Each structure stands twice: as C-alpha cells, then as structure tokens.
Amino acid sequence: MSGLVLENVVAGYRGRPVLHGVSLSVPARGSLTVVGPNGSGKSTLMKTVVGLVQPQKGRVLLEGEDVTRLDAPGRARRGLGHVPQEANVFRSLSVSENLKVAFEFIPARSGATFASRLEAVLALFPEIRPKLKVAAGHLSGGQRQMVAMAAALMPEPSVLALDEPSAGLSPKNAELLFAAIARIASTGVTLLMIEQNTRLGLAVAARGLVLVAGQVKAEAPATDLLSDGLMQSLYLGGH
Amino acid sequence: MISYVAATLVLVAIATIAGLALNLQWGLGGLVNFGLFGFYMLGAYVCALLDTKGVPPLAAMAAAIVVTAAVSAAVSLISVRLSEDYLAIVTLGFAECVRLFISYEEWLTRGTLGVPGIVRPFAGSVPPEWSDAVFLAFAYAWLALVFLLLRKITRAPFGRLVRATRDDATVAEALGKNVLAVRAKVFAIGGALLGVAGSLHAFHYSYIDPTQFSTTLNAYAFMAVIIGGRGSHLGVLIAGFTVILLLEGSRFLADVIPFLDGAQLAALRLFLVGAGLVAILIFKPDGLVREYRLRSGAS
Amino acid sequence: MGQLIFNGLVTGLLIALPALSLALVFSVLRFANYAIGSMLTVGAYLVYAFNAGLGWPLPLAALAGGAVGAGLALAIDRLVYEPLKGRGGVTLLVASIGVGIALENAVRFIAGSSTRGFAVEVARPLRLHGLRINQEQITTIATVLLALAVVWIVFRFTRLGRAMRAVADNADLAAVRGIPRRQVVCAVWVISSVLATLAGVLVGLDGNVDPQMGWNYILPVFTAAILGGIGNPMAAVAGAVVLGITEELATLVLAPHYRTMVAFAVMALLLLVRPTGLFAAQGTAK
C-alpha cells in the first residue's frame, strides 16, 4: 500500500504552472527526500501535497484515497501532518498549548489520549520537555523546529511532510534535528521531505528524488543518489 | 421648484467635490479618510468666520483652502509609522475634535447659535434675483476646475508615484521615494478640495451651525468613490451625479409617501447608502469606470 | 481625586467591553471593525425592545438581546465579510463603515431618533469611604468583570480559545493543524457582538438609549484598543482602564465635554511614540 502518491500533477500560481506533470510515490512507512536546485518547484510541490495549492491537473492520493479536492484542514484531518518551513509554531502560545492545539482538532487515529501522545512526542524530542510552559516565540530556532515537528506528530499522522527542516539552523542544530527525524522515520510514519542540504536530507531517507525545473529528473535509492558523482555535480552542487 | 432643483444641484456639486477629494486620498492614494466631514466643517467655518468679519468672500475661501490643506497634511503625519487602518481612526478622531471645538468655543464660532449672514462671492455686483444662478455657476466652475486638476495630477508622474506608494509602499520606499512626503501631499491636496467644498457649503446656506455637519457627507463621498470606481475621477463624477442626485432628490418622496415621515425617510436613505456601499464592494469591486492607467507597458 | 479615579475606572471598564470586541475581531479577521459603535447601539435597542417593549426584567432582556445580536452579527458576516474575505484589510474596513451606517439608520428607521431609557428602578447612590457609588456603577463593574473573566477563561483554558489564539497568531499554520477557520470566525462574531450588546446596555443605564450612543464611543474604543496594541484582546482592557482614568483626570483641567479630545490626544501621542501599543508583549509580537 502507498502512503502518499502524486499522479501527473500540474500546479502553479495564477494559471502559470511551476510543476509540469510530477509523479511520485512514497510507500507506507517509507521515506522520500526531494532535492533540487533553487527554483525547481520544491516548495510548490510541498504546498500541493498539503493542500495549500490546488493542482490544475493530476491527483493527490493519501493512503490510497483521493484527497485532491480537499483543503489543508481537510487533509490534516485525513492524517497528513505538515511542518512548514517558516512560521511553523504559534509564537504567542506556549509550547504545551502548541502541542495541545495540534492534537485536538484532528480525530486521533488510534484513539490515543492527549497525555499518551504528549509522552510519545516528548520521548522523540526530550529537549523540549523543560520548555513546555514557555511561549514558543521565545525559543531558539532549533527548539522551534522541534516544537513544530512535535506538534505535527501529536495527532499521529500517517504521512509527515517536512519543508526544508534544516533552513536557518546552525550545522550543529541541523545534525541534532536530523537525528530526531531519523528517530521519527523509525516510528513507522510515512515521510516526505524537501531539503536543500542534500547530504543530511538523503541520509535519513530510503529514497531520493531530484526535481529540476518542475520535472522529475531522477528517482532512486537515496544511497545511490548520494554516491552518484554525476548527479551531484549536475544538480546537487558541492561535495 | 426651480430654486429647489438649483439647491439640489449645488449640493450634488459639493458632495461630488468631497467625493473627488476622497478619491484622491483613498482611491488613488490608499489612505482612508473617515473624517471628511471634519475637514469640510473646518473649511466652512474658516470661510464663514472670515467672510462675516468683512474679509472678501473669495479671500475667505482661499484662506479656508490653505488652512484645511495644512491641517490635513499635519493630521496625516500622526499616523506616519502605521498602516492605513489607523489613518481612518485618526482622521475620524480629528473630525470629532473639530466638531466639539466648534460646538463649544462660542467666543469664536458662536457655538450652536451658528454663523449667520455669510456673504456670497460677487454678491455686490449681481442683482439678488440672479444670486442663485450665479452661485450655481460658481459651484460648477469649481467642480470642473477640481476635476481637471485631479485628472492632470493623476496623469502626471506624481500620480504614478501616488499609485505606486498605494500598491506597495515598501517597494516605493526601496526605490528611494519618500512615502511620507507623498502621503502628506496627497492629504494636503485632498484637504484643500474639502476646503473648497466646505466654503461652497457656507456660501450656499449663508448660515452655518454644527448640526449641518454630519457623517452623511462621509457616506455620500464613500458611495461616490466606490460606485464610480476607486481611482477613477470620471467614475466619481458620474456616480456623484447619479447616486447623490438620486439620494438628495429623494427628499421629494416625503410628499409622495405619506406613511414615512421626513426623519424615517432620511434614515432609509442612509440605510440604503450603507447597504449599497457593501453591495458594490462585493458585486462590483471595480466600480463603473476603471482606474486610469498609462497605456505603455510601464505599469 | 479618589472619586475621579473611581469614576475613570468605571468608564474604562465600560469602554473595555467594546475595545475587547474590536481587538478580538481585528486579531482573527484582520480588519478594524468600524461598525463596533453601531453594534453597541443595535444591542442596546434590542435589549430595550425586550425590556421596555415586552416588559422582561433587564438581565433576561440582556440575554435575549445578546442572542438576537449574535444572530445578526453572524448574518452580517455571512452576507458581507465572508464574501469579501481575502480582499485586504482596507476593503473590509470600508465595508464595516457601510455596515455601521446601515445598522445605525436601521435603528433610526424602526425606533426613531428620540432618546429612551431602560425600565429600571432608580436607586440611591452608596457611600463608601467618601466615595459616591451609583447603582449603575456597581452594575457596570460587576457585569464587566464577569464578562472579562468569562472571556479570559474561554481564551486561556478551552479548545475554542486556543483555536482563536492560533488563528489570530498564524492563520495558515492553523489551517495546516486542522483548525476550521469558519467556526472560529463565527465564535469570534458571537463573542464580539455579545460584548457589544452588554456594553450597549451599560451605556444605556449610565445615560440614555439613542441612535448616536455607539457612535460617541467609537473614538475611545479605538483609542483603548490601540493603547493595548490592536490585535491583542486582553491588553485592550488595560488600555481601556488607562484611558478611562486619563479622561476623568483630564476633567480637572478641561471642560468635561472635551473628553473625546483627550482620547484623541492620547491616541495621537501614542501613535507617534509607541505604535505597537503600551502593553504589547515584546518578542512574541508578529
């Protein structure tokens, strides 16, 4: 069974397509990292997945169910968790309120209680336990990112979509965060990630996808993409 | 009957000038002036008080225009650091203060007693039976002048600058334009026009008191701008002549509809203004006439 | 002096309800609701209709008036603000001006322009430590404090309150978190209109019920909300109290009819010096 599928998606802004027929498939409990140069359409892809942009053509399937016509809250209630790149916590709410509000508007899939979910995400992110009463706006960038991810995980999503998790973090914080993402991946959630930092991003995912100019250029096991020298020099840049 | 029509036409011209002033400030400049009636009242009183002290009517009017322009610019500067939302409340607050000041400072304005005996321009050289006709022509000459002036301003580089600051103040600022000065100028010019309208009001009634100045003028002006199409002076002109004429003309209906008294009719009229304003915003957001744009691809 | 501060406190609490209402709408719907004055007027007349018209006791009439007012606010949202969603704060602001004009004149059309008063017994003022306290002032203090406590509890400790604060903080993220914006907006209008109706009753008890009554409060209400940092509902309450006391103390040097000028002066000064509001929390402001 597939966790998340995009079929020939054409999407963009004001009728001008940015994605030209993108197809991808993440198996249930699998993980996929989308990489590509700036302007390749990565963030449009993410917005289309979570329902902030409606595709002009194509379909979006969540666990086999067509969710193309659902808006963002609708998809969230069907089990799609999302961590936006920026402004991904409610800054004026405390950390525990952030977690609570993320939990209580989405029907729990396993009927889990708030307390048990809270313990589960705090086990994944022990760093935020001492900060529960602090306003999220007062946290550091790395801590905010963890709170955002913890909030997205509160309702036990079947699919978690991460938008550039390393953006704006120091290399050390990014390493810490990706260690946490690896822990999340092992809990059995289907993971879709967009990432600038190809080394970190591909290291935690089973498969990688290269998006260039709104089209899929390659899709392969992440380790193959990392070791493929040609691919790196062409699209990924650097080491 | 004829004098009723003439009086209505003068009121239409005055309200349309106020509408054009608002169109410059809000339509073109994006600056919501919710205190139009205060600037208008200020203009009327400056003109009336100088006029009744023996200053020649045209000189009194000129003084009113200068005062309202200067005061408008000053008021716009209060909300320099903020968005348009605040300008609306600042202008409204200012207008309320003007109304209070004029109502209570009897030594200067005679308060609720009002200012009687305002002399119209050319009163000495025109036979009394022609007074209304000459004044009607005077008012329409002003309306034409205001319209042409605004059209010229809009098509000049300054007009483009005003639209640019409305559409994106940050970009205009980044391009090295002084957004603050642009806003102050737009408010000053709009204020001058309200000074014109206020002076015409004083001349028209030849007696003014605080009860004549209410938010009805606000309502008419917003109506004219929204129906006419934000930013389009021609649209505001057309809207002024159709809508305000209809609304003012509906005073007639008091004689025709026996079961509504005058106060109810006035309330009904303003209710329709309010509801109409909302309906046009929803169903015809561009108004009757689209905003003037340069044809070149520069926009 | 003590009497002035006490009177100012009561005035401030009276302004606090509509100021909270205004700030609440601003924080979630992102526009300055100029119809707040008319909502207050309409609320007062609705309650008057139940109280003087049907002879219901005032508390019951206030409940009924609040319910009808809330229904009206929801209808207006459905007809006006929802279709204009996403068209920018200034368009919504101008629409609210239209709504305000329409509401006030609907009142004039139906009820006429004459002043009225609620059917309540006149009671003698109390004397306490040299303070003269009217029966209406006690009613005002008790009602406002109760209303504020309820709103505060809803805000802090309920699912709805968290949803409202989340949408106010970041509407896009709230959508991603599955929070239904529409329900939050409806809740905001219900709370906002009930607060306006309550304020209408209290203003009517303090003075008269007339079609201008709400209009006279627009300026102080906006000033209080700006003092608190508009979009910061609970700080608007603090702003209202500060403004009320300032207005009352200003009567020492200015004629009482110039209280509006004091409000304007306070607002102008504040906008020039500290546009984020006196009580805006540092760091968490967006």
C-alpha dist (Å) from residue B75 to A173, B67, B206, C139, C273: 50, 12, 28, 39, 15
With a cut of 80, say whether residue C245 has pLDDT above it.
yes
Full DSSP string of C211-258? TTTTHHHHHHHHHHHHHH-TT-HHHHHHHHHHHHHHHHHHTTTS-GGG
B30 lies within 8 A of chain C by CB? yes
pLDDT at B296: 37
> Average pLDDT, stretch C233-256?
88
Which range marks the domain in which residue B59 is found?
A: 2-211
Q: pLDDT band for position B161 (50/70/90)?
A: confident
Chain C residues whose beta carbon lies within 8 Å of the beta carbon of residue B219: 101
Tokens of A189: 């959630």
Q: Strands A80-83 and C126-128: what pairing?
A: unpaired
Burial readout A20-38 (b: 16 or more C-beta within 10 A, e: otherwise)? bbbebbbeebbbbbbbbee
Residue C83 three-state SS? coil
A88 — contact with chain C (CB < 8 Å)? yes
CA C9/CA B64 separation, integer angstroms: 41
- pLDDT bin (cut points 50, 70, 90) of residue C126 is confident
Interval C193-210 mean pLDDT: 94
Paired with B208 in beta bridges are B115
Picking from A95, A96, A204, A197, the residue whose alpha carbon sits closest to that of residue A144 is A95
Rounded Cα gap, residues A134 and A131, in angstroms:
5
Percent over 70 (pLDDT), chain B: 92
**Residue extents of the structural domains in chain C:** 2-273
Q: Choose from B110-119, B173-182, C70-79 the range with maximum mean pLDDT.
A: C70-79
Q: Which two tokens stand for residue A29?
A: 């409990």
The verdict on residue B62 lying in a domain is: yes
User: Tell me, what's the pLDDT at A167?
Assistant: 84
Q: Enter the DSSP assignment of A6.
A: E
Integer Cα distance of B111 and B90 in angstroms: 24
Residue-level pLDDT at B86: 78
In chain A, the percentage of residues whose pLDDT exceeds 90 is 51
**Structure token digits, residue B149:** 């002036």
Q: Which residue has the tokens 């406002």?
A: C144
Most distant pair of Cα atoms in chain B: their distance: 62
Q: Encoding tokens for residue A180?
A: 């946490």
* A238/C67: higher pLDDT: C67
How confident is the model at residue B297, as a pLDDT? 35
Measured between alpha carbons, how far is C263 from C9 in angstroms, rounded to an integer? Answer: 15
Phi, psi of B255 (to 5 degrees): -75, -25
The average pLDDT across A36-58 equals: 89
Starting at the edge strand found earlier in the chain, the sheet holding A16-27 runs A16-27, A2-13, A57-62, A65-66
3-state secondary structure of A140: coil
Per the CB < 8 A criterion, the answer to whether C118 and C207 are in contact is: no
CB pairs under 8 A between A and C: 76
Give Cα separations from A13 to A17, A54, C158, C195 (angstroms): 7, 9, 38, 41
Closest chain C residue to the Cα of A50, Cα to Cα: C176
pLDDT at C25 over 50: yes
C209 CA to chain B: closest CA distance, Å?
17
Write the CATH number of the domain with boundaries A2-236.
3.40.50.300
Task: Write down which chains contact chain B via at least 3 CB pairs under 8 A.
Answer: C
Average pLDDT over residues B154-173: 82
Question: Residue B255 has what pLDDT?
Answer: 65
Q: What is the pLDDT of residue B57?
A: 93
| Cα-based distances in Å from A106 to A64, A162, C178 | 19, 18, 6
Assign B294 a pLDDT band (cuts: 50, 70, 90): very low
Give dist(CA C183, CA C190) in Å, integer. 11
CA–CA dist A211, A47 (Å, integer): 15
pLDDT at B231 over 50: yes
Which residues on chain A are in Cβ contact (under 8 Å) with C173? 84, 87-90
Q: What is the DSSP letter of B292?
A: P
Residue A6 falls in which region: left (phi positive, over 0), alpha (psi -120 to 50) or beta: beta
pLDDT band, very low/low/confident/very high, at A144 (cuts 50, 70, 90): very high
What residues form DSSP beta bridges with A20? A10
At B200 the pLDDT is: 95
Please give the residue that has the higher pLDDT: either A103 or C271.
A103
More confident residue, B37 or B178: B37
Residue of C nearest to B102 (CA): C258
Distance CA A4, CA A191 (A): 9
* Contact status, residue A28 vs residue A2, Cβ threshold 8 Å: yes
Whether C and B touch, i.e. at least 3 CB pairs below 8 A, reads as yes
| A210, pLDDT greater than 60 | yes
The pLDDT of residue C42: 97
Residues in C closer than 8 angstroms to B104, CB to CB, are 255, 257-258
A18 contacts A43 by C-beta, under 8 angstroms: no
B88 to chain C, any CB pair closer than 8 A? The answer is yes
Going by C-alpha positions, the residue among C169, C279, C173, C284 that lies closest to residue A138 is C284
Task: Suggest the residue from B85, B94, B180, B270 to mutate for an interface test with chain C (most C CBs closer than 10 A).
Answer: B85
CA distance A94 to B61: 60
Least confident of A11-20, B213-222, C115-124: C115-124
Contacts of B197 (CB under 8 A, 6+ apart): B14, B15, B17, B18, B21, B40, B43
How far is the C-alpha of A216 from the C-alpha of A34, rounded, in Å?
10
Burial readout C36-45 (b: 16 or more C-beta within 10 A, e: otherwise): bbbbbbbbbb
Q: List the subunits that have 3+ CB pairs under 8 angstroms with C.
A: A, B
Higher pLDDT, C45 or B111: C45
Residue A163: phi, psi to the nearest 5? Answer: -105, 105
Q: What is the pLDDT of residue B160?
A: 86
Q: How many CB atoms lie within 10 A of CB A16?
A: 7
Per-residue pLDDT at C255 exceeds 90:
no
| Main-chain dihedrals φ then ψ at residue B46, nearest 5 degrees | -60, -45
Nearest CB to A101: which of C162, C281, C284?
Answer: C162
Q: Mean of the pLDDT values across residues A26-44? A: 89
Span B219-224, mean pLDDT? 87
Q: Which pair of tokens denotes residue A94?
A: 């405390």
Give the span between the Cα atoms of C106 and C278, in whole angstroms. 37
Structural domains in chain B (count): 1
The yes-or-no reply on B/A contact (3 CB pairs or more, < 8 Å) is no
List C residues 61-100 in contact with B (Cβ-Cβ < 8 A): 79-80, 83-84, 87, 89-91, 93-95, 97-100
CA distance C14 to chain A (A): 27
Q: CA angle, corner C283, sides to C161 and C159, nearest 5?
A: 10
Q: What is the pLDDT of residue C282?
A: 38
Query: Is residue A189 over pLDDT 80?
Result: yes
Segment B143-156 mean pLDDT: 92
Q: C2-273 maps to which CATH number? A: 1.10.3470
- Mean pLDDT lowest among A39-43, A193-197, C227-231, C254-258: C227-231
Cα separation values, B187 from A232, B21, B87, B170, Å: 58, 9, 11, 19
Q: Is the pLDDT reported for residue C279 higher than 70?
A: no
Contact C209, C45 (CB under 8 A): yes
pLDDT at A176: 87
Sequence-distant (≥ 6) Cβ neighbours of residue A39 within 8 angstroms? none
Given A82, A87, A91, which is nearest C284 (Cβ)? A91
- Model confidence band, residue A239 (pLDDT cutoffs 50, 70, 90): very low
List chain B residues with CB under 8 Å of C215: 215
Instruction: Quickly count helices (H) and strands (E) in chain A.
Output: 9, 10
| Region B267-283 average pLDDT | 88
CA distance readout (Å), C3 to C6, C141, C252: 5, 15, 12
Residue A66's pLDDT is 92
Cα gap A87→A75, rounded to integer Å: 20
Is the model more confident about B84 or about C178? C178
Tokens of A219: 């899709």
Beta-carbon contacts of A58 under 8 Å, excluding residues fewer than 6 positions away, are A6, A7, A8, A9, A10, A11, A21, A22, A23, A68
Mean pLDDT for chain C overall: 89
* Contact indicator for A65, A38 with CB cutoff of 8 Å: no
Length of chain B as a residue count: 299
| Tens-place pLDDT, residues C84-124 | 988 888 889 889 999 999 999 999 999 988 888 887 777 77
The secondary structure element, H or E, covering residue A218 is strand A215-221
Query: ipTM, 2 decimals?
Result: 0.86
CA dist list (Å): C10 to B115, C62, C82: 38, 20, 35
Residues C165 and C187: their CA atoms lie apart, in Å, by 12
Least confident stretch, B110-119, B180-189, C268-277: C268-277
pLDDT tops 70 at residue C48: yes
B78 vs chain C: nearest CA distance in angstroms? 6
Q: Tokens 């209809």 correspond to what residue?
A: B246
Yes or no, beta carbons of C94 and B226 under 8 Å apart = yes
Helix, strand, coil percentages in chain B from 3-state DSSP, rounded to 5 = 75, 0, 25
Q: Across the interface, do A104 and C173 touch by the CB < 8 Å criterion?
A: no
What would the mean pLDDT of C261-275 be, rounded to a whole number? 83
If you average pLDDT over residues B171-190, what whole number do you get?
83
Which DSSP string corresponds to C135-189? HHHHHHHHHHHHHHHHHHHHHHHSHHHHHHHHHHH-HHHHHHTT--HHHHHHHHH
Strand pairing category for A31-35 and A190-194: parallel
* pLDDT score recorded for residue C10: 93
Q: Does B215 touch chain C (CB under 8 A)?
A: yes
Secondary structure of residue A144 in the 3-state scheme: helix
What is the gyration radius of the CA atoms in chain B, in angstroms? 19
**CA–CA separation, B231 and B241 (whole Å):** 17
Q: How confident is the model at residue A170 (pLDDT cuts 50, 70, 90)?
A: confident
| Token output for C63 | 């409940």
Residue B121 has pLDDT above 70, yes or no: yes
- Containing A194, the helix (H) or strand (E) segment is strand A190-194
- Which amino acid appears at position B125 of this protein? S
B220 contacts B241 by C-beta, under 8 angstroms? no
